[in-house]
C-alpha cells in the first residue's frame, strides 16, 4: 500500500480538544487477532493511565508489533475493543489517528523527498497553522537541521529513524506508539531524543513502547510488561518491579531469540 494511502486514511479534521477526557489513555478489552490459523493475541486486556510510559518486552512473535498496529488502527482486531482517550478505535478511527504518533520499523517516508519535504507533506495532512515553525523545531530536536535538504533515500538508517520520529511528533500527539525506537540510534541521540518523546505541550505523553533493549526500556519505563503467546505474563510499575524476576524473564526471552 502506498504511503499516501496509508497516511491519508489516518487523518481527519477533528481537533484534539474534541477527544474525551478520562483517566485512562488506553483501554483494551478481550482483544484477539490471528493471521490465518495462527493466533497472535488472545483475549488480551490492557489499561494505561494518561501520561504513563509502558514498555513491553517479549520474544519475536509474542505479539508486540501486532499490539501496536492494533492500537494505531493499522490492523483491525478479530474481536474485542480498544479505546484511546475514551474514543473507540472501531467507531472513530480518524479521531484516534489524529491524537497518536507512531514509530514502527518502516519509517513511512517518501524516499525521493527531502527531510523537509517529507515533514511538510505529512504536516499538511493535519492542517497545522504553524507547520513551518514545527518543522524547524522537530528537525532541530532530532539533529537533522543540516540534512533537511537531503533526500530520505540518501540518509543512513539512523537518520531515517530520526526523521520518522520527527514525523510522528510533528503534530504534538497525546499518545505515542513506539516499536524499537532505539534501533539505529546511538546512546547520545537516545539521551537527547528521550525528553522530546516524553513531553507534549499538554504535559506527559502516554507511551506504549516495544523493545528487546532492557537498558533503554528500563530507563524510559514507568511500567514494564512481558508479552508471551499473546498475553501479558508479567506487569509491574518500574519502582515496584521485582528486578530478579524481570532479568530471569529477559534472559529466557533472549534464549528464544538467539
pLDDT tens, 196-249? Answer: 899 998 899 999 999 989 999 999 999 999 999 899 999 999 998 888 888 887
In this prediction, residue 17 has a pLDDT band, given cuts at 50, 70 and 90, of very low
Decide: helix, strand or coil at residue 8: helix
Exposure string over 87-115, b if 16+ CB within 10 A, otherwise e: bebeebbebbbbbbbbbbeebbbbeebbb
Calculate mean pLDDT across residues 84-88. Answer: 94
Query: What is the predicted pLDDT for the residue at 254?
Result: 64
CATH code of the domain made up of 24-257:
3.40.50.300
- Which H or E run includes 125? helix 115-125
- Between residues 148 and 125, which one has the greater pLDDT? 148
What are 111's three cell numbers? Answer: 524516499
Range with lowest mean pLDDT among 111-115, 147-151, 199-203, 220-224? 199-203
pLDDT above 80 for 11: no
Query: What is the predicted pLDDT for the residue at 18?
Result: 43
Helix, strand, coil in percent for the chain, rounding step 5? 40, 25, 35
Amino acid at each position: 500500500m502506498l504511503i499516501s494511502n496509508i497516511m491519508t486514511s489516518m487523518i481527519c479534521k477533528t481537533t484534539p480538544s474534541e477527544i474525551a477526557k478520562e483517566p485512562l489513555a488506553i483501554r483494551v478489552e478481550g482483544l484477539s487477532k490471528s493471521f490465518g490459523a495462527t493466533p497472535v493475541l488472545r483475549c488480551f486486556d490492557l489499561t494505561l493511565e494518561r501520561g504513563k510510559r509502558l514498555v513491553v518486552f517479549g520474544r519475536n512473535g509474542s505479539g508486540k508489533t501486532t499490539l501496536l498496529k492494533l492500537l494505531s488502527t493499522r490492523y483491525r482486531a478479530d474481536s474485542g475493543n480498544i479505546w484511546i482517550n475514551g474514543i473507540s478505535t472501531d467507531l472513530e478511527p480518524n479521531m484516534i489517528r489524529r491524537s497518536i504518533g507512531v514509530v514502527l520499523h518502516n519509517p513511512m517516508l517518501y524516499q525521493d523527498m527531502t527531510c523537509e519535504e517529507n515533514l511538510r507533506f505529512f504536516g499538511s495532512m493535519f492542517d497545522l497553522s504553524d507547520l513551518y515553525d514545527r518543522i524547524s523545531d522537530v528537525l532541530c530536536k532530532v539533529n537533522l537541521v543540516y540534512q533537511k535538504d537531503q533526500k530520505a533515500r540518501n540518509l543512513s538508517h539512523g537518520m531515517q529513524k530520526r526523521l520518522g520520529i520527527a514525523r510522528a511528533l510533528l503534530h504534538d500527539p497525546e499518545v505515542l506508539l513506539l516499536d524499537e525506537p532505539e534501533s539505529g540510534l546511538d546512546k547520545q541521540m537516545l539521551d537527547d531524543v528521550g525528553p522530546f518523546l516524553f513531553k507534549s505541550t499538554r504535559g506527559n505523553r502516554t507511551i506504549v513502547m516495544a523493545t528487546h533493549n532492557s537498558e533503554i526500556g528500563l530507563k524510559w519505563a514507568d511500567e514494564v510488561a512481558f508479552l508471551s503467546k499473546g498475553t501479558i505474563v508479567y506487569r509491574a510499575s518500574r519502582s515496584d518491579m521485582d528486578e530478579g524476576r524481570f532479568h530471569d524473564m529477559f534472559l529466557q526471552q533472549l534464549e528464544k531469540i538467539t
